[in-house]
Structure 1
Amino acid sequence: MPAPSSPGSLAALRARHGERYRWLLLLSVMVGTMAAIMSSTIVNVAIPDMSQHFALGQARAQWVTSGFMVATTVSMLTTPWLLSRYGYRLTYAGAMLVLLLGGVGGGFAQDFGLVLVARVAEGLAAGVVQPIPAVIILHAFQPHEQGRASGIFGMGVVLAPAIGPSVGGLLVDWFGWRSIFFMVVPLCLASLWLAYKFVPVTAPGGVEANRRGAPLDWRGLLLGTAGTLCLLNGLVTLHGGSASEALGLLAASAVSVAAFIAWQRRLLHQSRKPLMDLRLFQYRPFAMGSIVAFIYGTALFGSTYLLPVFLQMGLKMSPSHVGTLMLPAGLVLAVTIALVGRLADRRPTHLLVCTGLGLLALSFALMVCVSPVSPLWMLVAFTALGRVGLGFILPSLNLGALRPLDRALISQGSSAIGFLRMLGGAAGVSLCGIFLEWRLSAHGATLISGGADPARLAAFAETFLVLALLCGVALVAAWRLRATEGSRGPL
């Protein structure tokens, strides 16, 4: 362990800042996570201008988004190894530096290939950063404070994607698409300053980072990457390509996942360090939480794609109208997370997650009642109801799934559950698109025909009902998140 006199040691930082230190630490990682999440969503508003600048088709332009999501999903698996080998500060600051370079590189890029490289770099950094706050909350805060910490952290983080696209749209209008990449620069610089001021050099558990520890499980990482890429490309191909090619990719994904699991088990039996410790799934709350996280990611990201398309193509609302409609829902989400975070310190987390999934399912089901003549308040209310549901889930799910774990597995658990949530989210966008396209074809409708087509609205309604059903399935798993709450050791 670092000497107590070391300025970056946990003991020195706690002695210097006293009881408020854990909140300063949480603020430090919150700023970086805001930058990572903002970089994942804000570029979407620049895709049309970027496509025109580089003369891209829609498929190539979407690589900017899909490349980021794949990189984020896969790199989450490396966070536990990085934390144990390099400690909190180097891991976090290194990821922020990569995110900063990705933003600057994307902003100055003169070739679309370089833009794509910058987006992948940003995705890798975002994936490494996102599991870290949950690890810190469960190590640094007592059980009676963890909910409040999760709520405050979640409120700050969701404001980034809620406000980001609105600010991004103005920047694109005023300064062009390149300005979008530079938006993360101030947050990255602030996070680097905060990291060297408040983030300790130790690894989770307060132990010294071991530079000579077990090497990274490269074979597991390659198998996980191959499985993820084949799954997502297979779903995209199923959406707009040949069925045989799509089935081949999905079959390759299944083989890669089976090989990944077999390899992780082999490493465990040999007492070596696997990329994903499968002992996590021996804890029932974590196993159920993983199922909830995957389905929740599918429903959340799927609805993020579906809702704007429904409002614009189904109800024929203008993009500015849609943006105005979604802003109150984002603010409602931020407030709900802060309030529910306090409840998570006093109420069983499985009840809060179940409540959130129920509200989310209800909001999807109520969308069936919406038509072009529905009053605006109805749309706002139904959308806000879904965000209230998300506000119940976000601060509670990680706590319910990770609290029962052995202390040594917390980093692995945060990484694994984040990976499954992102994988479900990446798949959810394609699955929603596939199902909507199928139902449109079945009803003899298209998205581009003019007017309020009842057949098109029926296809949207059926897709919303499927999302509601998915939330219902997740609710069954969420009920089994019940576990005794335990205290945690040092950071």
Structure 2
Amino acid sequence: MQPTLEQLRSRYGTRYKWLVLLTTMIGTMASILSSTIVNVAVPDLSRHFVLGQERAQWVSAGFMLAMTLSMLSTPWFLLRYGLRRTYTAAILLLLFGGVVGGFSLNYPMLLAMRVAEGLAAGIMQPIPSIVILRSFEAREQGKAMGIFGFGVVLAPAIGPSVGGFLVEQFGWRSIFFAVVPFCLIVLAMSRRLLAVNSPMMGDTRALDWKGLLLAGVGTVSLLNGLVTLHQGLGEAAALLLVAAASLVGFVLYQLRVQNGLMNMTLFRYRQFAMGALVAFIYGAGLFGSTYLVPVYMQMALHYAPSEAGLLLLPGGIVLAVTIVVAGKLADRFPPNVLVALGLCLLATSFGLMAAGSRATGYFTLMTWTIIGRLGLGFVLPSLSLGSMRGLEFGLIAQGASTINFMRQLGGAIGVSVVGILLEWRLAVHRSAPDGGQVTAFSETFLVVAALCASAIIAAWRMRAPAPEMAAR
């Protein structure tokens, strides 16, 4: 017989909530690891399955897309099935995707397993934050969020480094098996620490399947339309038209339905609307660069996979430390200023990468990535604070979910667009004496830098309305 919540709290006392947080955090870190670890294996996957960059990038973009859409359903799953069942099912799905993905016989099979992993990751991602808000007192929530945030941002840094080593020593299949030990540990912890009578269960309304379907069709059509642009305008135009119609339909449906996936009244607040735009570009920059840098290091500069993955590790550590510091600074300085500063550093990092060449030293490239991760660290805590300031209390939960959704959607589209743009520029410069690889990557980095710089304008407009600022 499984223990109840009351029995577990009696057994573990005040440390029980920390054990629950640790359980959910390890699973979430495993899902993030599965997201980033594959990027360093893209060149190997491209050779093994004979893929161009526009198809190879779907290994990352497919994961991001599935994660983005499934996270909208997390609150419904928690209310319907409780924490234990929801989290255990997500971990089992992640485990299944990792094991079967490692034995993939063809590219469609591999891509399907990446989508399965993404669905699991999307369900898991919001859960630790919900646990913190539900289980911790207000005076402990900051500390808990800091511990969780440190682990979450460290995972994308470790992913490429571990992935590079595994690919070099054991081949691309080994990267899928990396999540297996984490999943087994979490399954054991869930069985021991998560109660059968979850306090998150309750009366639940029907899931907004119409909204989820419209969002899914629109996003998938948009990404596929972008991928097929280089093959001809006919099919691409049809897909992009379907995407536009679906996304417009989603917005109109959410405006008139009650208890939908997204409360559209949030966008009437200027600071939130600008914050959502910044979150979208932030996600594109974060996940797009995590995809682009390892591929650049291997294809253009001919580094080994382990060296390409190791390049991002120091920057990831700097990112984790910066988030803690930036969180404290957000209490002293206007959040929009810190977000603008972070975006400026991020754009500078991409600009420097665009100016690189085969003569650029390894540690110089590492320094440039550290500058970008420093910028990302300033953006993350300040973005949430700046976007949410001024919202009505009843809109805060929906606002937090929407900002997270926009960031992940930006990541999915960013990875896709980066891969498409890179493939286009490689084709343009293919006749160059050196194959034009460095030039193609430089132009791609330059476009991403310009995109991040354009977000500074939106970040600056995240200022709370004057009356609210005066009241503060």
TM-score of Structure 1 vs Structure 2, range by shorter chain: 0.7 to 0.9
Local SS of the residue matching 1:287 = helix
Consecutive unaligned residues in structure 1, runs of 5 or more: 1-5, 486-491
Matched residue type, 2:178: M
Residue 149 of structure 2 corresponds to 154
- 1-side partners of 2:99 and 2:69: how far apart? 23
Matched residue type, 2:253: W
- 1-side partners of 2:417 and 2:286: how far apart? 12
Counterparts in 2 of 1:256 and 1:393: CA distance versus 1, 3 Å: same
Is this contact kept in 2: 1:145–1:345, CA < 8 A?
no
Matched residue type, 1:91: T
TM-score, length-normalised on structure 2? 0.84
Query: What do you get for the CA RMSD once the two structures are aligned?
Result: 3.5
Local SS of the residue matching 2:262 = coil
Residue 92 of structure 1 corresponds to 87
- 2-side partners of 1:110 and 1:463: how far apart? 32
Q: How many Å apart are 1:387 and its aligned residue?
A: 0.8
Local SS of the residue matching 2:429 = coil
Aligned match of 1:470 in 445, 448, 451? 451
Aligned match of 2:263 in 259, 270, 277? 277
- 1-side partners of 2:26 and 2:403: how far apart? 21
Residue 122 of structure 1 corresponds to 117
Is this contact kept in 1: 2:164–2:308, CA < 8 A?
no
Residue 255 of structure 1 corresponds to 245
Residue 279 of structure 2 corresponds to 293
Q: How many Å apart are 1:14 and its aligned residue?
A: 5.8
- 1-side partners of 2:118 and 2:410: how far apart? 16
Report the number of matched residues.
463
Aligned counterparts, 1:100-119, within 5 A? 100-108=95-103, 113-119=108-114
Q: How many Å apart are 1:33 and its aligned residue?
A: 0.9
Matched residue type, 1:127: G
Aligned counterparts, 1:12-51, within 5 A? 17=12, 19-46=14-41
Q: How many Å apart are 1:364 and its aligned residue?
A: 2.1
Deviations 1:9-58 (A, max 9, x none): 6xx766665554544333222111111111122234455666676x5544
Q: How many Å apart are 1:386 and its aligned residue?
A: 0.6
Residue 412 of structure 2 corresponds to 426
Local SS of the residue matching 1:382 = helix
Aligned match of 1:230 in 206, 221, 229? 221
Deviations 1:317-350 (A, max 9, x none): 5545433433322222233234334444565543
Q: How many Å apart are 1:111 and its aligned residue?
A: 5.9
Counterparts in 2 of 1:469 and 1:170: CA distance versus 1, 3 Å: closer
Is this contact kept in 1: 2:351–2:449, CA < 8 A?
yes
Local SS of the residue matching 2:38 = helix
Local SS of the residue matching 1:359 = helix
- 2-side partners of 1:89 and 1:407: how far apart? 28
- 2-side partners of 1:47 and 1:367: how far apart? 20
Aligned counterparts, 1:185-204, within 5 A? 185-199=180-194
Residue 388 of structure 1 corresponds to 374
Local SS of the residue matching 1:370 = coil
Residue 202 of structure 2 corresponds to 209
Larger CA deviation: 312-321 vs 380-389: 312-321
Counterparts in 2 of 1:431 and 1:170: CA distance versus 1, 3 Å: closer
- 2-side partners of 1:451 and 1:188: how far apart? 44
Q: How many Å apart are 1:265 and its aligned residue?
A: 2.0
Local SS of the residue matching 1:378 = helix
Residue 479 of structure 1 corresponds to 460
- 1-side partners of 2:87 and 2:389: how far apart? 23
Matched residue type, 1:477: A
Aligned match of 1:245 in 235, 239, 247? 235
Aligned match of 1:354 in 336, 340, 349? 340
Q: How many Å apart are 1:156 and its aligned residue?
A: 1.1
Matched residue type, 2:445: F
Is this contact kept in 2: 1:148–1:342, CA < 8 A?
no
Consecutive unaligned residues in structure 2, runs of 5 or more: none
Counterparts in 2 of 1:13 and 1:403: CA distance versus 1, 3 Å: farther
Matched residue type, 1:89: R
- 1-side partners of 2:439 and 2:378: how far apart? 30
Matched residue type, 2:80: R
Residue 126 of structure 2 corresponds to 131
Matched residue type, 2:450: L
Matched residue type, 2:429: A
Matched residue type, 1:209: G
Give the percent of matched residue pairs that are identical in Structure 1 and Structure 2: 56
- 1-side partners of 2:418 and 2:115: how far apart? 24
Aligned match of 1:180 in 175, 178, 190? 175
TM-score, length-normalised on structure 1? 0.81
Is this contact kept in 1: 2:342–2:379, CA < 8 A?
yes
Matched residue type, 2:4: P
Residue 4 of structure 2 corresponds to 7
- 2-side partners of 1:438 and 1:106: how far apart? 29
Counterparts in 2 of 1:401 and 1:32: CA distance versus 1, 3 Å: farther
Q: How many Å apart are 1:207 and its aligned residue?
A: 6.0
Residue 76 of structure 1 corresponds to 71
